[in-house]
Amino acid sequence: MADDQAKVEALKEDVDVKRELEQARGTREKKKGPRRRKLWLVIYLIPILVFGGVYYIFRSGYFKFAAQYESLVGRLIVAAIAISAVLLVLYIVKAYLIDSLSDPVARYNLKHVANLLAGLGIFFIAITALFANWYTAVVSLGVISVILGFALQAPITSFIGWIYILTKVPYRVGDRIQINMDTGDVISVNYLDTTLWEVGGRHLSTDHPSGRIIKFPNSSVLTTPVHNYSWSLFPYIWNDIKFQVAYQSDLDFVEKVLRETAEEEVGPIMKERIGMYRELLAETPVDQLEVNERPVVVFRTDQTTWVNAIVRYLVEPRQAGPVKTRLIRKMLVRLNSEPEKVLLPKGDAR
């Protein structure tokens, strides 16, 4: 056990692992205690006090610079004070306002927005310090913007996609989604890309994590449909299991076995939840009659000489695989226990 822990700690020191942990940590940040917060407040105050003292000495005339540099030095010192103040305000907002929120996804998104606003503020402070004439600065920014607009079309579109994700919320951190042919759980939404923990994939035929991550540009949400399996109004999906039975089988018995087994596994809790969500869905365009609170069994003719008995039930997306496995085991035991009523394919009769 100690050896395993040592290996884990050693792995955490790997540069690539550190980077990925930092990106994926997202909504599970550790909150700082009151004493630690006060310590960081002091740390952020020190640069303001230092640069403030330097500015006082500079204005008092203790340091002499060449005439052409004196104005620039003064602006740089003021800019340093302003940037330090922006960083202090950013820390206060994140530590005392955002961290107090109970919703981890809201904390994650608001911190990204706060970092962005602080970065823009620092950028404009730096531009103001470097250019004494704002007209020159605006013209320079205009030329740079035109050049960057052509050179950075893809990143800019992805940034717009990030804003769309924050405002329209097609998905959030923690949701299970499908975009294009990729399915997974959202573990990170950054300014330019989104990271998924892949579920299924070409190496698996079940809804289980594959161990791989998928990164795609945020611009994809502007042109590609996003399938969200974690809709707050109805966080379940329909799943089904199909058995082939002979035409001579007792279909009433088959229907009873499949439905009762599914009801036992899904449980009365699901029935209660569906009733609650049905009331919510009644206020939306969703047809509430299609939201059944009990498993449904249907029969379809197969292309071969068999009948397909299909049981359809509701399940939480992340529990789809385990629930299906348990149901198949139980259903097969019960169906095989009555061979005179249920004729299942066996041997060459498949």
Per-residue pLDDT, averaged over 18-31, amounts to 54
Percent of the chain with pLDDT over 90: 14
Q: Are 259 and 297 in contact (CB under 8 A)?
A: yes
Instruction: Give SS3 for 36.
Output: helix
Asked if the model's pLDDT at residue 7 lies above 70, the reply is no
Backbone angles phi and psi of 24, in degrees to 5: -85, -10
* Residue 208 or residue 288, greater confidence: 208
List, for residues 67-118, the tens digit of each pLDDT value. Answer: 556 777 778 888 888 888 888 888 888 888 878 776 676 777 778 788 888 8
Average pLDDT over residues 134-152: 58
* Mean pLDDT score, 1-28: 58
Residue appearing with tokens 């226990």: 337
237-336 shares the fold of 165-228:
no
CA-closest candidate to residue 232, choices 105, 108, 99, 98 = 105
With cut-offs at 50, 70 and 90, classify the pLDDT of residue 22. Answer: low
Task: Flag whether the pTM goes above 0.75.
Answer: no
Strand order in the sheet with 193-199: 209-217, 193-199, 182-189, 176-179, 226-228
Residue 134 is predicted with a pLDDT of 55
pLDDT band for 63, please (50, 70, 90 cuts): low
Residue 151 above 70 pLDDT? Answer: no
* Residue 253 pLDDT > 90: yes
Write the class of the CATH domain 165-228.
Answer: mainly beta
Burial-class residue 339 by CB neighbours within 10 Å (0-12, 13-18, 19+): exposed
Question: How much is the average pLDDT of 43-54?
Answer: 86
Name 240's Cβ contacts closer than 8 Å, sequence gap at least 6.
Answer: 310, 311, 312, 313
**CATH code for residues 237-336:** 3.30.70.100
pLDDT tens column, 254-310: 999 999 998 888 866 667 667 666 666 666 665 554 566 778 898 988 777 889 999
Residue with more model confidence, 64 or 54: 54
- The mean predicted confidence, pLDDT, of the chain is 78
Q: d(Cα 122, Cα 130) in Å, to the nearest integer?
A: 12
Task: Give the confidence band of 226 by pLDDT, cuts at 50, 70, 90.
Answer: very high
pLDDT of amino acid 78: 85
Percent share of the chain, pLDDT over 70: 71
How high is the pLDDT of residue 210? 85
What's CA 63's distance to the chain center, in Å?
53
* Domain ranges within the chain, ordered by starting residue: 31-151, 165-228, 237-336
CA distances from 77 to 65, 86, 130, 136 (A): 14, 14, 11, 21
Q: Taking residues 203-221, what's their average pLDDT? A: 85
DSSP 68-136: HHHHHHHHHHHHHHHHHHHHHHHHHIIIIIITT-S-HHHHHHHHHHHHHHHHHHHHHHHHHHH-S-HHH
- Mean pLDDT score, 336-343: 86
How far from the centroid of its chain's Cα atoms is residue 240's Cα? 27
In the structure, what pLDDT confidence band is assigned to residue 327 with cuts at 50, 70 and 90? very high
Residue 177 has pLDDT above 70, yes or no: yes
